[in-house]
């Protein structure tokens, strides 16, 4: 058998098994929505929001920047940290659309609801607006983008988080 044919055969066998695998295993989601919010969107947006009051260029590096717990003072700090946090918010928004994710009260994250998808898209867009603002290094632009970000978070929270009874969250 020629090498080319063999490569073809092996290639197609591999892609078939990868497809089987993808179909057999639904994505495993370990974090509740609350944990995801606290672990990702909350810290990332705080880095972005910080640039409203302080000029990231003036934030000194930590004593050991490679171990810094504040991204602004880290090796990848200052304006770069603001840019990367904005990008992270936009990219991580995809995680909010995974089937199988639960809210802290055990209710499924309502990924099938049209308004949920709209709020998630709002977050992606806000992340992009934030990124564009961070790239200008202009704090007036950051102020505007922070308003967009706050609105994107609040739109969804108003509908799905702010409930008198926590059991009603995500419904």
Q: How far is CA 53 from CA 9, 46, 56, in A?
A: 60, 12, 9
Which residue in 83, 119, 133, 146 binds ligand HEC (CB under 6 A)? Answer: 119
Under the criterion CB under 6 A, does residue 170 sit at the interface with ligand HEC? yes
Under the criterion CB under 6 A, does residue 40 sit at the interface with ligand HEC? no
59 or 126: CB nearest ligand HEC: 126
Stretch that binds ligand HEC, among 12-20, 37-45, 50-58, 65-73 (CB under 6 A): 37-45
Q: How far is CA 118 from CA 112, 115, 121, 153, in A?
A: 11, 5, 5, 12
Q: How far is CA 67 from CA 36, 60, 141, 162, in A?
A: 22, 14, 30, 36
Q: Which of residues 121-140 bind ligand HEC (CB under 6 A)?
A: 123
Contact mark string toward ligand HEC, 148..167, x via CB under 6 A: -x--xx--xx--xx------
Stretch that binds ligand HEC, among 22-30, 73-81, 96-104, 140-148 (CB under 6 A): 96-104
Question: How many CB atoms sit inside 10 A of residue 89's CB?
Answer: 25
Here the contacts of 57-63 (C-beta below 8 Å, separation 24 or greater) are 57/137
Nearest to 142 by CA among 70, 74, 56, 67: 56
- State the DSSP H helix or E strand holding residue 162, giving kind and residue range, or none if neither: none
Stretch that binds ligand HEC, among 12-20, 54-62, 118-126, 138-146 (CB under 6 A): 118-126
Could you list the residues that contact ligand HEC (CB under 6 A)? 32-34, 37-38, 41-42, 45, 89, 96, 103-104, 116, 119-120, 123, 149, 152-153, 156-157, 160-161, 169-170
């Amino acid at each position: 058998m020629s090498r080319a044919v063999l490569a073809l055969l092996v290639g197609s066998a591999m892609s078939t098994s990868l497809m089987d695998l993808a179909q057999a295993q639904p994505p495993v989601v370990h974090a509740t929505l609350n944990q995801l919010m606290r672990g990702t969107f909350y810290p990332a947006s705080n880095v972005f929001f910080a640039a409203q009051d302080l000029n990231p260029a003036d934030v000194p590096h930590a004593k050991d920047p490679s171990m810094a717990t504040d991204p602004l003072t880290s090796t990848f700090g200052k304006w770069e940290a603001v840019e990367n946090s904005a990008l992270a918010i936009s990219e991580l928004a995809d995680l909010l659309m995974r089937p199988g994710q639960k809210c802290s009260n055990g209710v499924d994250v309502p990924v099938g609801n049209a308004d949920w998808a709209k709020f998630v898209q709002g977050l992606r867009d806000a992340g992009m607006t934030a990124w564009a603002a961070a790239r200008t290094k202009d704090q007036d632009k950051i102020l505007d983008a922070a308003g967009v970000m706050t609105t994107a978070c609040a739109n969804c929270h108003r509908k799905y988080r702010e409930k008198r009874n926590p059991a009603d969250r995500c419904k």
